[in-house]
Every structure is written in C-alpha cells, then in structure tokens.
A and B are shown apart, each in its own frame.
Chain A
Amino acid sequence: MLLMNDHADTIDALPPGVFLAPSAMVRGAARGKDVTIVQNSEEHWVARVQAIATAQDQTAFAELFRHFAPKVKAFLIKSGADAGLAEECMQDVMATLWRKAHMYDPSRASVATWIFTVARNRKIDLLRKYARPEPEDLPWGPEQAPDQADVLALQQESHRLAEAMKTLPEKQRVLIERAYFGDLTHSEIAAETGLPLGTIKSRIRLALDRLRHNMT
C-alpha cells in the first residue's frame, strides 16, 4: 500500500514551481521505481522516526514496524531465541522505539543501527539475563538538533558500509554475522573486517566533536 505520507514526501522533494504533470501523478500512483527508492532510503526512515518523536505519528510507526519488525525477529532467532521468545522480545524492542524516538540522533547512527542497539540490549537482558552497563549518555535536546550536513554524511557512509558488506567474500561476511548474532566468544572475534569502518568512524567523531562544542 502506498501511504499518503510517502506520496507527500515525493512531491515535497521536487523543486518548488515544478508543475506536476499527469505523467508524474501516474508514475507515483503506479508505485514507480523511483517512488520505491524514496520509500526505502535512509532519509525516509529518519523522517519516519522524527515523525514519531515530534508528532506521535502512528502511520509512520506502522510503516517502521512493517519494515523492521520482521528483521528484528529474524535477528533474535539467529541469536538463539526460539520463535516465541523472539516475538515477545521483538514487540518489546518496537515499543521501545516508539518511546525513545526522540533520543535518536541521525548524525551518529542510521535507523537500522539504532534499532540494532535497542535489539541487542534487549537480547542481553533476556538471553543473558543482566542489564548491561552502557556508556554515559551525551545529552542533546531539541535545541541542539544535529547538524544537517552531519546527518547526510552519516547516511552516505552507512550506505557505503552496507554496499561494502554485500561485496565481501561469503566466508568473511558469515563470520561477521556470527559475531553479531553472539555465536563467537570475544576471543574468537576478529576485528579486521575489511570494511570501510574508519571512514564512518571519522564521521561519527566529527558529530561528537560538534555535540561537545554545543554543550560548552
């Protein structure tokens, strides 16, 4: 189903003054390929999370749920949870996303990364049965909204990382996945991934520096 919100985004994305020719309307209505790209882009998901944060937008949440809930459940099953526990845990993760949407910082993490961290912590709670100590939070409020250039740069780096992941040799990719499913002990984890993690680290470092600067 094509949601009205998505359609609106597509139109908003056009330069001002562009006349919407009937062909453009048809393309949108027919779920043309470019509409699909907009729907699945990182920018799109960031906007959905922000709509949840600022307007408690239930349509945005439904969309986030449709896309990510089956992935979160699959991730939990691969991490050793049975289907029942994975479903429970996934619902909990999705409910947490609703409650914590305003804490999401798009200059430091993609939406998938943010969801991964919430799912990982819930997994540790449930499967390993302890509340893991987390690093001290760096507080930022709506008055310290992240720099838009940082947000865009992070989105590009996240995209590059995902693309690089796809081109890894199968054996290497499986090893990385097993590390994140919790199949490997820490001494079995090889941190040499062959992925462009240094560049994404530099982006995050810049965003942290700006955040520190804003706080002083």
Chain B
Amino acid sequence: MAGNVLDVTDSTFDQEVLKSAQPVLVDFWAPWCGPCKMLSPTVEAIANDYAGRVRVVKVNTDDSRQAAMNYRIEGIPTLLLFKDGQPVERVVGLTPKDRLAATLDKHLG
C-alpha cells in the first residue's frame, strides 16, 4: 500500500508511536475487516495532507494483539491519536475525511 503509512507492530510500537516527537495517528485494522479497507484511502490521504506534521501508521490487530489489547480496541477500524506517548483522541468506525481532519486540527493548534 501507499508509502506514507508505516506498518507498526508490537515490537516497534514503543519506538515508532510512544517515543515519537511528532503526533502519531495509529490506524488499527485487520485483513478481514471490510470497513477497514474502505477507510484505507482516507487514511492515506490524511497521511499525504499532514506529511511533516503528523505521522500516520497502521497496526494489524491480528499480528499485534498486545497493542490492540493495551488500548482496548474492541471494534475496527479504530484510529488513535498519540501525543507525547499518550492517546489523546479515539475515533471508532468509518469516518469521513473532513471530520478526521477537523479532529487532527484540534490537537495541532
């Protein structure tokens, strides 16, 4: 898939998300999840629009079950926005790009 969205796993979550200097938007998804596929183009568009301001990464909940359990992912797609290692925003389910952008803007100041 598109180059701007990095794959993150349980073993790289700490480094790539929690220790990131930039805010990180994490897309929790799985290969069997239809709505996740539908959200992918939106997430990729956000990654392009916010390049340099927000890192956008994705976590496959089948492979990285620890991250999914730690952050109580109970329906996917779920997007979590991390700032300074803390989750500050949770978006569950399909979301139009405009609303997602508005949510990010709120935290970017």
- A, B in one complex: no
